[in-house]
Structures are given as C-alpha cells and as structure tokens.
C-alpha cells in the first residue's frame, strides 16, 4: 500500500510537477523556496515579453506581447501583491486614473504600468505612438527590477503555510476584483486572466508534491495528504475547465463560478494546510483564512479595522452602554436629539430623508445620513473620509453645530449627574465612578455598539453559503451584470459591496461620478466632497463609495439624496454619470459612455441589489428605558431615540 501511495505522490498522477529537485531544501519551507525560484523564472519571462514589445511597432504584435506579459504577471500576482503592495498598486498594475499616495502626502501618481499600457494599445484603433508606449514599458520594467532580489525573500521568514495562505488570498482577489473588471477595463480579458491566476496556484501546489520529507511521514498521514491533494488538483482543473468553456466577459457566469469553484477551492486549500500540519501565520490581516466561507461574517477580523483593538475587556458591557448612549438625547445640545434621530433602526439606520433635519429644526444638514451597517469593516468615515475611526466619527458628530451641537466635555458632565450611568461606565471600563466617564469612554462605548451592527445574512449570503434556491434566475443574472457588464462591482467590491478594497482592505475608494443636484438631472451638485478635506483638485466632487447592502431599505440615494428609486440610480450609471448627463466633470472616474444595458438587464440589477437586504440587526435595538437622573423629572422624561 505504501509503495502505491508513493507512486501517486512522486510520479505526477495527482497532477503535481515532476521537475528534478536541484538541491536539498528545508522541509518546512520546501515549497516556498521552490516558489521563489519559479517566481524568478516567471518574472524573467515577463520581462522578456516586454523586451520583445520594445523591438516592434506592429499593433497586433504589441497587443500579443502585452497579453503574454499579463499572463506571466497573473501567474505570480498572488506573490507580487503580498510582498510588494505599494509598487503593485501604483506602478505595476495601478488604476487608469491619477491617484495620491496618502503615505507620501501630496505625491500624485499618474496612470502607469500595465493598465496604462493597455490603454495605449487597445483604447483606440489609431496607430500606436511608440514614443508614448516605449517609456511606459521601460518604466514598468524598472519597477520590476527590485523583485529579482532573492535576498529580500530570505529575510521575510516565508513558510509553506504562509504560501498556502497567499493562495487563499488570491482566491478572494479573483472573486472580488479580477472577475469584476477591476484591472482589465479595456481588453476585458478578466476571465482568461483568472485562468492564469489559477494556473499560478496550481504551480504552487505542485511544489508541495515534490517535497521528499512527505515520504518520511506515517503511511496514514501520506494517504490523507494524497487524498486531499487529489481533491485540490481536481478542484483547480474543474475551475480551469469552467473558464475554458466561456471566456466572454459579459456572459461569464461569475456567481456560479464563485460558488462552485472559488468556494470549494478555498475549502480544499484549508484541508491541504491542515493535513500537512502546517502552522498558520500570525500576520495581522482582515481575513481569517481558517474560515471555509471566505465571504461570510466569520471570515472578517473586526479587530483589524478597529484602532482600539487592544481595548477588548468587558466588551459586552461597553456595547450595552454604547447602545443606551446611541438612543439617549442627553448627548445633544438641546436634549431632544440622539444618534438614532438620523440613524433610525426602523429605517435601516438611515432616516428616510434626502438630508436630515438640522438642530432646532432649523434647516437641513449638508448630506444624506448614511446607514450604519458593517461599519466594523471600514477604515474611512463620512462621505468625504475626514474621520479614520468610528471613535473619531462619534466626536465629529457630537461637536457638529447642525447635527448634535454638543461637546464631549459637556456630555461627560451631564452623564455624571446620573448614578445609574456612573455605575454602567464603572462596570464597562473598570474605573472609579467619577473618573470613568471620560470623552474616550463615551466615544469607545458608542463605537463598540456601532460595530455590532453587521449585516451578513441576506438572501445573497445564503446563496453563497450553499442555498441554491435563495436567488431566482433573474436575481442571479443581476449579480453577473452588476459585477460584469454594468461594472458596479469594480467599485462596490464583493462581499462587503463597499469601497474598501479587498483582499487586504487597507484603502477606501473615493470616486467622482458627477452626481446631479436633484433627480431632474439638470445640474451638477455643488458639493466639492473630499476636496474640502484634501484641498486637491483631483478630489473635487469625490465621495466615498458606500455599501450597497440593505440599499432597498435606505432610500433616498447618493450623498445628497438626489434619487428616491433604485431604478433612477441604475439609469444614472447606465448613462455614464455626470458626463453622460452633459455636466462638466473633467476628473470623473466613472466611465463616460453608456453601459448599453437593456430594460430587462437594468431591472435584473435592481432585483439583485434587493437580495442584499438583511436588517435583522436593526430589530429590537431600541432600549426599553434610559438610565435615570434621580429626581430630575425633566431629564427622566426624555424620549428614547430623541424627539426629531
């Protein structure tokens, strides 16, 4: 029996590579060392394709060389993105719009790298201007040079377990970015490039099969390893075969592919990781890669997003306290308004208004009140991104003169007038009754409560979890349109459907879409958006990409509440945003031209978005009573949730 197993393992009958081992390597990093060697080979081949492109001006040859180079890049994308995230983002595979590197202040980076080369080669039928093309190719090559250094990797402490985790992260990237037109917007080669990504994973898995240390394991362990490896290779082969059957960007059934192949591949990678008894890395990251459903609530690590992740003691008590504060109008300047005034759980934690009523019912606030679901998985707050944590966001709202017209100092003094509140703060923060009611404690408690408002049990989530009947055929098609032809998914990323970019979730997207002032589409909204914060012309009219989850419950839409119907929102994007409506928006990041959607396709997209509704977290949020203020009858009569 043992000999048969070894034959399966070492002669490639499970699809593993049979390359000759060039040198004995440490068993614990065998596959990762082999991957480093292969990475260098792919990088060299990529560079050679670019060199060939530099020797011709023939359009078809240049396009062919570009596609060959992209195939090599996609083979090793998982490695480049993991170890070189900044160069990958800005210089190798960056977007087709100018960006500011926030880590370097005012460093503005123009489009360059693969996507800029793609634009030159494919955006028009005119002859290729090699004086523009060749410098872009040479620049890309220059940014690839540091990756050839093997000394860099030897210092990274790479392990075979980490290597498998990179493969899982790549699966998440495929589902949330690659299949959504994120980085091949002109060629729409996303499907065939996904095949290259899977081929890269397949190559990596092959290196595990070469590891001679496996032969020294007990026979029962070898049998398990072979069984799981066979299953993993079959899953990869099946996924590649599904792509080979249809590489058309618009008609590819990406949702079925995610559920039937990406989902199952992730499970097989976890099983492979476990059967090899490899340790998991302790890298702080957004995704919990031990989770078999990479698109579920359990797959997200909320402490990754929270700046106060060290403060987790007595968290349940902090949440309970924050819930009371959220619904207590004592926090406002006039004692009649609470957080829940503009974020009503009965309205999906919005308020149903285009713009919320201002303090003293004197006018309105500047923007639409955003819903609060899944703020636990965010790193930028407000439409203009001026806050970097929920705690900071709480402070901003409380001090805003038209929203709450209060201050943390005043609030703390008022709360100290309640023995009940003093007791609750002392229990939640383990401090003395007086000193515990601090600005930090108020912010932390409310933010802790808001982080519990998650939404991950919609019909769409149930479909991904295995309930094939959770979606109708038209809703299923709606997702494929949303993520494909309509390009919605290239900004509203699966599965959060917000603008925080997977799979590392370190950056939030701000887009210029040219929102109209009102639904009559006659004038551009005057709000300068993020430009007010950054003072950069590039950010004029830029706003944070919001989540689409629970969108059916949270009308009206856009930062100014311009549209009351989802159909109108879809039509706005279909026409090409503000530019498509005839507005002067030179820095618009949304495609200008029509999406060419027919009436049925538009309706299918709306039907899909409605499947993202899950307001179960909103139920029973209102407390039955608020803490007492002793004999103060006026304060004790305050209304739960506020009066307006």
Q: Please, are residues 394 and 521 in contact by the beta-carbon 8 Å criterion?
A: no
Q: What is the mean pLDDT of residues 490-496?
A: 97
What's the burial of 221, exposed, middle or buried (CB within 10 Å: 0-12/13-18/19+)? middle
Residue 617, pLDDT score: 82
Listed residue (247, 262, 313, 289) closest to 504, CA to CA: 289
- Number of helices (H), then strands (E), belonging to the chain: the values are 27, 4
C-alpha 254/C-alpha 441 separation (Å) is: 45
Residue 434, pLDDT score: 55
Q: What is the pLDDT of residues 226-273, one digit of tens each?
A: 999 999 999 999 999 999 999 999 999 999 999 999 999 999 999 999
User: Residue 542 is inside which H or E element, if any?
Assistant: strand 542-544
Q: What is the mean pLDDT of residues 37-49?
A: 96
Least confident stretch, 99-113, 355-369, 456-470, 557-571: 99-113
Q: What is the pLDDT of residues 329-348, one digit of tens each?
A: 999 999 999 999 999 999 99
Three-state helix/strand/coil letters over 569-622: HHHHHHCCHHHHCCCCCCCCCCCCCCCCCCHHHHHHHHHHHHCCCCCHHHCCCC
Three-class SS state of 557: strand
Tokens matching residue 540: 């004029």
Distances (CA, A) of 433 to 313, 427, 437, 446, 600: 17, 9, 7, 18, 61
Report DSSP state, residue 376: G
Residue 28, pLDDT score: 76
Residue 4, pLDDT score: 42
Q: What is the mean pLDDT of residues 492-506?
A: 97
Tokens matching residue 242: 């599904």
C-alpha 553/C-alpha 613 separation (Å) is: 7
| 6, pLDDT greater than 90 | no
Q: What is the pLDDT of residues 378-399, one digit of tens each?
A: 999 999 999 999 999 999 999 9
Residue 26, pLDDT score: 59
Residue 19, pLDDT score: 35
What's the burial of 203, exposed, middle or buried (CB within 10 Å: 0-12/13-18/19+)? middle
What's the burial of 155, exposed, middle or buried (CB within 10 Å: 0-12/13-18/19+)? exposed
Residue 125, pLDDT score: 85
C-alpha 536/C-alpha 405 separation (Å) is: 29
Residue 63, pLDDT score: 97
Residue 20, pLDDT score: 34
Rg (CA), the chain: 27
Q: What is the pLDDT of residues 144-183, one digit of tens each?
A: 999 987 677 777 789 999 999 999 999 999 999 999 989 9
Q: Where are the beta strands (DSSP E) in 71-198?
A: 99-101, 107-109
Q: What is the pLDDT of residues 279-311, one digit of tens each?
A: 999 889 999 999 999 999 999 998 999 988 778
C-alpha 367/C-alpha 307 separation (Å) is: 26
Confidence of residue 225 (pLDDT cuts 50, 70, 90): very high
C-alpha 598/C-alpha 483 separation (Å) is: 16
DSSP string across 408-450: HHHHHHHHTT-HHHHHHHHHHHTS-TTTT--HHHHHHHHHHHH
**343 CB-near residues (< 8 Å, 6+ apart):** 326, 349, 350, 351, 369, 371, 372
User: pLDDT exceeding 70 applies to what percent of the chain?
Assistant: 95
Tokens matching residue 129: 């201007």
Q: What is the mean pLDDT of residues 404-433?
A: 92
Q: What is the mean pLDDT of residues 309-338?
A: 94
C-alpha 7/C-alpha 9 separation (Å) is: 5
Q: What is the pLDDT of residues 180-209, one digit of tens each?
A: 989 999 999 999 999 999 999 999 999 998
Q: What is the pLDDT of residues 546-562, one digit of tens each?
A: 999 999 999 999 999 99
User: Residue 482 is inside which H or E element, if any?
Assistant: helix 473-483
Question: What rounded mean pLDDT belongs to the chain?
Answer: 92
Three-class SS state of 463: helix
Q: Please, are residues 226 and 167 in contact by the beta-carbon 8 Å criterion?
A: no
Confidence of residue 15 (pLDDT cuts 50, 70, 90): very low
């Amino acid at each position: 029996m043992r000999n048969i197993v070894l034959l399966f393992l070492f002669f490639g009958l499970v699809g593993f590579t049979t390359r000759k081992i060039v040198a004995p390597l440490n068993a614990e990093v065998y596959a990762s060392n082999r991957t480093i060697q292969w990475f260098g080979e792919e990088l060299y081949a990529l560079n050679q394709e670019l060199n060939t492109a530099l020797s011709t001006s023939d359009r078809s040859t240049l396009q062919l060389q570009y596609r060959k180079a992209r195939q090599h890049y996609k083979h090793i994308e998982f490695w480049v993105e993991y170890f070189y995230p900044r160069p990958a983002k800005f210089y190798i595979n960056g977007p087709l719009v100018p960006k500011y590197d926030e880590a370097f202040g005012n460093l503005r980076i123009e489009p360059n790298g693969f996507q800029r080369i793609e634009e030159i080669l494919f955006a028009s039928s005119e002859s290729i201007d090699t004086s523009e093309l060749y410098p872009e190719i040479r620049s890309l090559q220059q940014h690839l040079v540091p990756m050839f250094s093997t000394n860099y990797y030897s210092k990274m402490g790479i392990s075979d377990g980490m290597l498998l985790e990179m493969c899982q992260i790549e699966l998440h990237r495929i589902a949330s970015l690659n299949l959504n037109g994120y980085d091949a917007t002109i060629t729409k080669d996303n499907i065939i490039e996904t095949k290259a990504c899977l081929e890269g994973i397949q190559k990596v898995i092959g290196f595990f099969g070469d590891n001679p240390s496996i032969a020294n394991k007990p026979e029962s362990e070898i049998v398990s390893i072979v069984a799981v490896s066979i299953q993993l290779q079959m899953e990869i082969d099946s996924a590649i075969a599904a792509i080979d059957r249809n590489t058309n960007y618009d008609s590819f059934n990406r949702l079925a592919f995610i559920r039937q192949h990406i989902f199952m591949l992730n499970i097989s990678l976890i099983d492979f990781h476990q059967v090899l008894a490899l340790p998991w890395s302790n890298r702080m990251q957004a995704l919990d890669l031990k989770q078999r459903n990479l698109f579920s609530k359990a797959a997200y690590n909320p402490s990754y997003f929270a700046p106060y992740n060290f403060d987790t003691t007595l968290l349940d008590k902090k949440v309970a306290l924050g819930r009371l504060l959220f619904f207590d109008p004592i926090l406002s300047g006039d004692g009649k308004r609470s957080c829940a005034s503009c974020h009503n759980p009965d309205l999906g934690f919005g308020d149903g208004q285009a713009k919320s009523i201002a303090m003293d019912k004197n006018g309105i606030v500047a923007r639409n009140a955003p819903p609060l679901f899944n703020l636990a998985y965010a790193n930028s707050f407000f439409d203009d991104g001026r806050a970097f944590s929920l705690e900071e966001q709480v402070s901003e709202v409380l001090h805003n003169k038209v929203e709450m017209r209060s201050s943390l100092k005043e609030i703390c003094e008022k709360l100290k007038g309640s023995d009940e509140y003093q007791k609750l703060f002392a229990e939640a923060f383990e401090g003395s009754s007086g000193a515990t009611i601090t600005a930090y404690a108020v912010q932390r408690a409310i933010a802790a409560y808001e982080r519990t408002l998650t939404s991950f049990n919609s019909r769409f989530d149930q479909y991904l979890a295995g309930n094939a009947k959770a979606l109708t055929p038209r809703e299923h098609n709606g997702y494929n349109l949303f993520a494909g032809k309509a390009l919605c998914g290239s900004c509203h990323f699966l599965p959060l459907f917000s603008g925080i970019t997977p799979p590392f979730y370190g950056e939030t997207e701000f887009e210029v879409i040219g929102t109209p002032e009102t639904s009559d589409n006659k004038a551009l909204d005057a709000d300068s958006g993020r430009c007010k914060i950054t003072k950069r012309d590039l950010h004029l009219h830029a706003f944070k990409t919001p989540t689409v989850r629970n969108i059916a419950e949270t009308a009206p839409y856009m930062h100014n509440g311009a549209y009351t119907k989802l159909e109108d929102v879809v039509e706005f994007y279909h026409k090409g945003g503000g530019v498509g409506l005839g507005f002067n928006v030179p820095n618009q990041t949304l495609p200008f031209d029509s999406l060419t959607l027919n009436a049925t396709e538009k309706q299918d997209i709306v039907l899909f978005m409605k499947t993202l509704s899950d307001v179960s977290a909103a139920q029973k949020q209102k407390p039955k009573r608020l803490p007492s203020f002793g004999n103060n009858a006026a304060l004790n009569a305050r209304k739960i949730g506020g009066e307006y």
